[in-house]
């Protein structure tokens, strides 16, 4: 696949994987992206998962016509992008490996000593390939400490590491934002401040093409993608609406959550998302919580605490610095309802959280009093 006249795609699609990073469901697989820049000196950017090393090396050989590349540039050392370094070095022992000091520390940790030559670059340093000049932009903790990007000033291409990546193989027929959002909040979401710093650096670059390590090459309407990344990393509200996340043991808390959704829609709320935390993809539930401005948490009191799936969900939010949102609670408890207080305590260190005045308490099953409380909560959330 030709990106520009001098830049070709040589990555691979992974349709074998079921769980990315051992936890994220990827029904449409994954893409591990790698690119070749042709010039007086030729550079390959990044490797692929080791399971696809032979396919990837075959792609490189096909486009290079048997010639050895001059450089292998490593932007990110996570194994889905770096675990074929050893195979590459065996195939091309004369190629110089380009990275930063932290990159080479990780290469040694993963692979031991390598015999290839190395070139350690610094933030802002340039590498000339001929007419193409790459500027390295360090992006520590987006989302590993060694991460760097590079910008080709000739073709105005940003090689963006995991930034702007998404779940799904390149032949997946799906909306970019949905799987990019789930990828971002699942994997990068904790590091919003670092992404914001990177976006400020990148704002000074005349970028026309973004080449990420996962997902499609972005060539049009870059303001849309960059705008979403800015919203996500600033913990801003992307879409107007309300997300209700619930757990239910015998169906009564579920009925309360469903009734609240019904009331919200009746009162004019245009979008209400209802997630059963025991059955839905947890990463998608977290994505929804960050997408909308209001989150309602509904769960039972369980062993004097909150139900395990709800605890896992809340931990997923607070671990990623959930903030700038409105929260409301529905609790269920047959003899000692504690869930609302327990849930609220988890957010005591979260920034800019507004708690709804109305909290719904269900004692075992819905009754006239709890239905009225749900009505009051719906009024508050739609006011």
Q: What is the CATH number of the domain that holds 278?
A: 3.40.50.360
In a domain, 136, yes or no: yes
Question: Does residue 317 share a domain with residue 195?
Answer: no
Do 217 and 323 lie in one domain? The reply is no
Are 299 and 247 within 8 A, CB to CB? yes
Judge if the upstream peptide bond of residue 143 is cis by omega within 30 degrees of 0: yes
Element containing residue 203 per DSSP (H, E): none
Each residue's pLDDT, cut to its tens digit, for the chain (383 residues) gives: 899 999 999 999 999 999 999 999 999 999 999 999 999 999 999 999 999 999 999 999 999 998 999 999 999 999 999 999 999 999 999 999 999 999 999 999 999 999 999 999 999 999 999 999 999 999 999 999 999 999 999 999 999 999 999 999 999 989 999 999 999 999 999 999 999 999 999 999 999 999 999 999 999 999 999 999 999 999 999 999 999 999 999 999 999 999 999 999 999 999 999 999 999 999 999 999 999 999 999 999 999 999 999 999 999 999 999 999 999 999 999 998 999 999 999 999 999 999 999 999 999 999 999 999 999 999 999 99
What CATH number did the domain enclosing 144 receive?
3.60.15.10
Domain holding 154, by residue range, is 7-233
Nearest-angstrom CA–CA distance, 283 and 289:
10
Which of 175, 198, 233 represents a domain boundary (last residue)?
233
100 and 176 in a single domain? The answer is: yes
For residue 25, being part of any structural domain is answered with yes
Rg of the chain on CA atoms, in Å: 24
| 229 found inside a domain | yes
Residue 360 and residue 294 share a domain:
yes
Instruction: Note the pLDDT of residue 272.
Output: 98
Q: Tokens for 309, please give them.
A: 């799936």
Q: What counts of helices (H) and strands (E) characterise the chain?
A: 12, 22
Between the alpha carbon of residue 43 and those of residues 19, 47, 175, 199, 379, the distances in Å are 31, 12, 31, 25, 60
Q: Is position 167 within any domain?
A: yes
Q: Are residues 266 and 342 in the same domain?
A: yes
Q: Which of 222, 89, 80, 113 is nearest to 164 (CA)?
A: 222
Q: Which of 180, 202, 233 is the last residue of a domain?
A: 233
75 and 182 inside one domain: yes
Last residue of a domain, one of 188, 205, 233: 233
Residues 37 and 150 in one domain: yes
Question: CB under 8 Å to 356, separation ≥6 — which residues?
Answer: 326, 327, 328, 329, 377, 380, 381
Task: Return the ∠ at Cα 199 (arms to 150 and 98), rounded to 5°.
Answer: 20
Give pLDDT tens digits for 103-128.
999 999 999 999 999 999 999 999 99
**Domain identity same for 42 and 143:** yes
pLDDT at 56: 98
Residues 33, 138: one domain?
yes
Q: What is the DSSP letter of 322?
A: -
DSSP code, position 194: H
State how many domains the chain has.
Answer: 2
CA atoms within 13 A on the CB side of 26: 26
What tens digit of pLDDT does each residue of 232-267 get?
Answer: 999 999 999 999 999 999 999 999 999 999 999 999
pLDDT at position 66, please?
Answer: 85
Query: Does 1 reside within a domain?
Result: no
126 & 253 share domain: no
Task: Quote the CA–CA distance of 212 and 33 in Å, as a whole number.
Answer: 7
**What integer pLDDT is reported at residue 1 of this predicted model?**
86
Q: Is-contact 257 307, C-beta < 8 A?
A: no
Is position 128 within any domain? yes
**Inside any domain, residue 2:** no
Q: Would residue 84 count as lying in a domain?
A: yes
Residues 195, 344, single domain; the answer is no
Let me know whether 228 and 263 are in one domain: no
For the chain, the farthest-separated pair of C-alpha atoms sits apart, in whole angstroms, at: 78
């Amino acid at each position: 696949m030709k990106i520009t006249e001098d830049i070709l795609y040589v990555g691979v699609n992974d349709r074998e994987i079921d769980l990315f990073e051992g936890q994220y469901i990827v029904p449409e697989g994954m893409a591990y992206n790698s690119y070749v820049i042709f010039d007086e000196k030729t550079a390959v950017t990044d490797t692929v998962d080791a399971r696809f090393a032979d396919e990837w090396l075959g792609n490189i050989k096909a486009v290079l016509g048997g010639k050895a590349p001059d450089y292998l540039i490593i932007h990110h050392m996570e194994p889905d992008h770096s675990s074929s370094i050893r195979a590459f070095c065996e195939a091309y022992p004369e190629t110089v490996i380009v990275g930063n000091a932290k990159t080479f520390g990780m290469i040694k940790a993963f692979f031991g000593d390598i015999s290839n030559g190395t070139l350690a670059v610094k933030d802002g340093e340039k590498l000339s390939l001929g007419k193409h000049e790459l500027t390295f932009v360090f992006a520590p903790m987006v989302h590993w400490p060694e991460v760097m990007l590079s910008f080709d000033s000739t073709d105005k291409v940003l090689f963006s590491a995991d930034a702007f990546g998404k779940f799904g193989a390149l032949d997946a027929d799906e909306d970019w934002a949905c799987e990019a959002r789930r990828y971002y909040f699942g994997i990068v979401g904790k590091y919003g401040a670092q992404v914001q710093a990177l976006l400020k650096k990148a704002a000074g670059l005349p970028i026309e093409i973004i080449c990420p390590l996962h997902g499609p090459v972005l060539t049009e309407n870059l303001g849309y993608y960059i705008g979403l990344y800015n919203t996500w990393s600033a913990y801003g509200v992307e879409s107007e609406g309300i997300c209700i996340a619930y757990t239910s043991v015998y169906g009564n808390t579920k009925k309360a959550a469903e009734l609240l959704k019904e009331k919200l829609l009746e009162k004019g709320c245009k979008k209400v998302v209802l997630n059963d935390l025991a059955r839905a993809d947890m990463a998608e539930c977290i994505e929804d919580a960050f997408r909308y401005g209001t989150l309602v948490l509904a769960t039972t009191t369980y062993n004097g605490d909150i139900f395990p799936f709800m605890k896992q969900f809340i931990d997923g939010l607070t671990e990623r610095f959930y903030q700038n949102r409105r929260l409301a609670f529905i609790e269920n408890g047959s003899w000692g309802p504690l869930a609302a207080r327990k849930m609220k305590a988890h957010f005591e260190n979260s920034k800019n959280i507004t708690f709804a005045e109305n909290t719904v308490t269900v004692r075992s099953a819905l009754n006239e009093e709890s239905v009225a409380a749900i009505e009051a909560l719906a009024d508050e959330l739609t006011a």
